[in-house]
Amino acid sequence: MDVSVIQIGNSKGIRLSKSLLERYNIKDTVELILEKGHIVIKPKGNPREGWEAAFKKMHESGDDKALMNDVFEDENFEEWI
């Protein structure tokens, strides 16, 4: 798809059509990735999106147990005082 580079104040930019914005769920912010001579524009998502549901599912299945002890046997708390 070809798009024109347009003047925006002292800068330049591109204009994305409404259908592209809707199709790729682009809201107010995008992530710009510079990669081997290419510019990739990605919708900015919430990095923790879906975590609440995933944690709830883990809890319900009993898969949310600690993998290691809170305190190691050789830990010396006197060093921290």
pLDDT digits (tens, 9 = 90+) for 20-67: 999 998 988 999 999 999 999 998 877 888 899 999 999 999 888 888
> CA-CA distances (angstroms) from residue 74 to 49, 66, 81?
38, 19, 16
pTM over 0.75: no
Pairing of the two strands 11-14 and 5-8: antiparallel
